Amino acid sequence: MTAFTPRPRIGATVAIYLALAGVLAVGGAAVAADGGNLFATAHLVDMLTRTSLTGFLAIGMTLVILCRSLDLSVGYTAALSSLVAATTMDGQSGNVPLAVALVLLVSGLIGAANGAIVAFLKVNPFIATLGTGLILKGYLDTEYKGPAGDVPFAFQQALGYTRFAFIPVSTVVMLAVAAAAVWFLRSTRTGHHMYAVGGDVEVARMSGIRTTRVLLTAHVLCGMSAGLAGLLLAARFGTGSAEAYTNLYELDAIAAVVLGGTLLLGGKGGVAGTVAGVAILAVLDTVFNVMQIDPFAKDVLRGVVIIAAVALYARRQLDRTARRPRFAAAAGRAS
Amino acid sequence: MTHVKRLGAALQGAGTVFLLLALVFALILAINPGFFAAPSLMAFLKQAAPLVILAAGQYFVIVSGNFDLSVGALVGAQVVIAARLIDGEESRTVPVMLVMLAFGIGVGLINGLITTVLKVQSFITTLGMLLVLYGAIRLWTGGAPTGALSDAFRTPGRLGIQTPLFQIPWALLIMIGVGAGAIALMRTRFGRILMASGDNELAANRSGARVDTVRTAAFVLSGVSATIAGILIGGFAGVSAQVGEGLEFTVITAVVLGGVALGGGRGTALAAMAGALAIEALFTLFNQMALPATLRPAVQGVIIIAAVAYAARRRIRPALQSTATPS
């Protein structure tokens, strides 16, 4: 077991945090040139608040992507979770524990359904989760014509708006979940197996890993993290909202994961990088907001930044195939 | 004899989609026997043509082992560009169509070069392109599309050749032309290299195939198909800011329904286009059943998963037997 080290090379994660520092520096300079201060408390709060929602979704997404899977249904799962939370709480603080439990159960079950379709029915994850997303969309559109439920004020304050100095509680919770996920991937057997399954599912299976179980676990955890995002949505809006899925959170989450250096093809990356990816997107959004850049130009810039960043990472990863001993000699000759 | 065998093999892989198509048509027939009268059938095919054409373009990209998520945004961009540049002037129709074609080729070329030269995964390349196109078009028009299409521009999507009994839509003829072109192209050297690149990139590269070149060309073909689809959709439905939204997922679903494997190397162009036809038939069936609009995505989701799961079952069995051969 000692020969198998699934941890990403320290260099990769450090590079992503350097990129984050670079984005912060450039953004800060741009805002300063514009006569503002990116590091004013209000802007820092804005930045950190933005990280929490995408953060929850991206942490779960990292797990499934590491297994060479994908989840396009997280936006719908989060929307449904916000509705489950708000209608179960129904304005009563006493119902909060029940609502949280119910949200985790429902979102976990959706994740389990995704995992089962991918692992047992062998449906491509792109199609499987697009399909479950469509099913959830149909259910949400049919059942909920508008906002529903009522989130008690105490819960709204606790998760939605309280903060220590300039750090919102939701960000602290997100970072705690991220830390748990880092520990899970580095120190548990299932965590290690996720890297193996993502690297090569056949090799993993022949090495005695129950690959379907690993895939199922990743999807359940991804669903539950989308459930946490739904709880946060409910706390922010004070009610459950089916409309939340129109924001295409799943694409944001995937972009953050990939920005964080996790390979879309699975088997390489980690949650620490993902958190940096989420932060990079949040910094960009805040900078665009502070500088009052046209919202449509924001989309253009985001698109360009995402492609450029991944192109830079790809430079680092070009040697990936060459590092495999079997092709080392041939690759050396070819280049 | 080999032709018969090859046809048999092709049908086995893609059988699900033809089965689904037959099933949906049978249900439509049961509910509304009048549907297969020439005029309504022609109307159906006219409406289905853009998706079929997009499926042909997406097929090239998928079979070579990539994704193109930018086609929906590209279709929307093309329609908005057409309306803005033509601005109701008949004489500008053809030049603007050429500009659109150049734009489609350009977008495909950029997608292809970023994916092959910069080694960015196509999922991210085209997701970024989606964001860029979406934002750029709204930035350019200030949020709402302006201008108007000319009558000549709208002809291919709206009108057709009048015969004594019914009208043969231009869209149908264009669809058949594009479809035949796609099938013919896959039989050429280019098509075989494309398929090989998706099946085993390393082996194709070692055999001297220009994998990057054909993959880039596939993105360009996808851009061209989005341009043609944009012309047809603009003609058929007119201009709005929402044109093309979510179309990329519908197209990819259509191609996968046709038994084309995501990841590349498997599936035929004909089956991909049949997948698009099956999806459009499904939408028509929902109409005929008067299914509530809100419930449609749910039914669509169930059918997609079921169809792909069924196709996967059929594919797994022969693969299991072949593991005995040394690789």
Q: What average pLDDT does the segment A286-292 reach?
A: 86
Local confidence band at A332 (pLDDT 50, 70, 90 cut-offs): very low
Q: What average pLDDT does the segment A136-151 reach?
A: 86
Looking at every residue in chain B, the average pLDDT score rounds to 84
Local confidence band at B2 (pLDDT 50, 70, 90 cut-offs): low
The Cα A119–Cα A108 span in angstroms is 16
Interval A241-252: pLDDT, tens: 888 887 788 888
CB pairs under 8 A between A and B: 141
Interval B92-140: pLDDT, tens: 888 888 999 999 999 999 999 999 988 888 888 998 999 899 888 888 8
A147 touches chain B (CB under 8 A): no
Mean pLDDT is highest, among A30-34, A92-96, A115-119, B248-252, for A115-119
Closest CA to B93 of B101, B103, B82: B82
**Predicted local confidence at residue B314, as pLDDT:** 62
C-alpha distance from A31 to closest chain B C-alpha (Å)? 22
Local confidence band at A72 (pLDDT 50, 70, 90 cut-offs): very high
Determine, yes or no, domain membership for A178: yes
**Predicted local confidence at residue B199, as pLDDT:** 87
**Weakest mean pLDDT among A239-253, A315-329, B180-194, B246-260:** A315-329
Local confidence band at A321 (pLDDT 50, 70, 90 cut-offs): very low
Instruction: Look at residue B225 and tell me whether its pLDDT is greater than 50.
Output: yes
Looking at every residue in chain A, the average pLDDT score rounds to 85
Residues of B in contact with A317 (CB under 8 A): 119
Q: What percent of chain A has pLDDT over 70?
A: 91
B116 touches chain A (CB under 8 A): no
Local confidence band at A317 (pLDDT 50, 70, 90 cut-offs): low
Local confidence band at B3 (pLDDT 50, 70, 90 cut-offs): low
What is the tally of structural domains in chain A?
Answer: 1
DSSP assignment, residue B169? E
Q: What percent of chain B has pLDDT over 70?
A: 91
Instruction: Look at residue A325 and tell me whether its pLDDT is greater than 80.
Output: no
A258 touches chain B (CB under 8 A): yes
CB contact under 8 A, A137 and B129: no
**In the CATH scheme, what is the code of domain B13-314?**
1.10.3470
**CATH number of the domain where residue A169 is located:** 1.10.3470
Closest CA to A218 of A232, A236, A204: A204
User: In sequence order, what DSSP letters do the residues of A70-88 get, joined into one string?
Assistant: --TTHHHHHHHHHHHHHHH
The Cα A333–Cα A152 span in angstroms is 66
Q: What average pLDDT does the segment A109-130 reach?
A: 92
CB contact under 8 A, B309 and A122: yes
| Interface-testing mutation among A296, A298, A320, with chain B (most B C-beta atoms within 10 A) | A296
Residue B100 token pair: 């659109």
Beta-sheet strands, E only, within chain B: 160-162, 167-169
Local confidence band at A329 (pLDDT 50, 70, 90 cut-offs): very low
Determine, yes or no, domain membership for A41: yes
The Cα B115–Cα B61 span in angstroms is 11
Determine, yes or no, domain membership for A327: no
Determine, yes or no, domain membership for A331: no
Residues of B in contact with A127 (CB under 8 A): 252-253, 256, 262, 304-305, 308
Rg (CA), chain B: 20
Beta-carbon contacts of residue B59 (< 8 Å; ≥ 6 apart): B182, B255, B258, B260, B267, B269, B272, B273
Q: What average pLDDT does the segment B189-194 reach?
A: 91
Q: Find the domain containing A132 and state its range.
A: 10-317
B123 touches chain A (CB under 8 A): yes
Residues of A in contact with B200 (CB under 8 A): none
Instruction: Look at residue A324 and tell me whether its pLDDT is greater than 70.
Output: no
Determine, yes or no, domain membership for A134: yes
Nearest-10 Cα torsion for B238, B239, B242, B248 = 70
Helix pair A271-290, A10-33: axis angle to 10 deg: 10
ipTM of the complex: 0.80
| Interface-testing mutation among B111, B127, B286, B302, with chain A (most A C-beta atoms within 10 A) | B127
Residues of A in contact with B132 (CB under 8 A): 299-300, 303-304
Q: Pick B298's closest partner by Cβ from A139, A298, A306.
A: A139
| Interface-testing mutation among A121, A212, A307, with chain B (most B C-beta atoms within 10 A) | A307
Polymer length in residues for chain B: 327
Closest CA to A85 of A143, A145, A152: A152
Polymer length in residues for chain A: 335
Beta partners for residue B162, in sequence order: B167
Closest CA to A23 of A254, A309, A215, A303: A309
Local confidence band at A285 (pLDDT 50, 70, 90 cut-offs): confident
Closest CA to A125 of A173, A80, A72: A72
Q: What average pLDDT does the segment A234-262 reach?
A: 85
Instruction: Look at residue B283 and tell me whether its pLDDT is greater than 80.
Output: yes
Helix pair A41-66, A271-290: axis angle to 10 deg: 140
Determine, yes or no, domain membership for A249: yes
Determine, yes or no, domain membership for A15: yes
Interval A168-205: pLDDT, tens: 888 999 999 999 999 999 999 999 999 999 988 889 98
Local confidence band at B324 (pLDDT 50, 70, 90 cut-offs): very low
> Which helix (H) or strand (E) is A168 found in, with range?
strand A167-168
**Predicted local confidence at residue A6, as pLDDT:** 53
**Predicted local confidence at residue A330, as pLDDT:** 43
Q: Pick B120's closest partner by Cβ from A141, A302, A311.
A: A311
Angle formed at CA A69 by CA B223 and CA B253, multiple of 5 degrees: 40
Local confidence band at A331 (pLDDT 50, 70, 90 cut-offs): very low
**Predicted local confidence at residue B323, as pLDDT:** 42
Residues of A in contact with B312 (CB under 8 A): 121-123
**Predicted local confidence at residue B320, as pLDDT:** 43
CB contact under 8 A, A135 and B296: no
The Cα B107–Cα B85 span in angstroms is 18
**Predicted local confidence at residue B144, as pLDDT:** 77
Nearest CA in chain B to A119: B309
B305 touches chain A (CB under 8 A): yes
**Predicted local confidence at residue B327, as pLDDT:** 37
Q: What average pLDDT does the segment A139-158 reach?
A: 83
